[in-house]
Amino acid sequence: MKIRVNMFAIILATASLALAPSLLNTESANAAYYCSDEKGKSKAWIEGCKQGWYDHNHCLAYNPGTGEVAKGYKVGWSKGSC
């Protein structure tokens, strides 16, 4: 019985490590779709949104830039999480 519990723990740990990168990639895909689906937004706004989301997800400093990029960055930053 103890061997089964140990094997289950090893399998669970291995599966967790194998799936972790795919969870991070999902966040990036969400950012790309969410930002691109905003109606009436400029290309600069969309790029700012994606960058803000990426920066917040990777615990980088808040660096919005100026203009439309800054407006999109603020929205993207609010969607990300550190």
Per-residue pLDDT of the chain (82 residues; tens, 9 = 90+): 778 877 777 777 676 666 555 555 556 667 777 888 888 999 999 999 999 999 988 899 999 989 999 999 999 999 888 8
Q: What angle do CA 67, 63, 57 make, to 5 degrees?
A: 120
> What pLDDT score does 80 carry?
84
> What pLDDT score does 47 carry?
93
> What pLDDT score does 46 carry?
93
pTM above 0.85, yes or no: no
> What pLDDT score does 58 carry?
87
> What pLDDT score does 26 carry?
57
**Closest to 69 measured CA to CA, from 52, 48, 53, 51:** 48
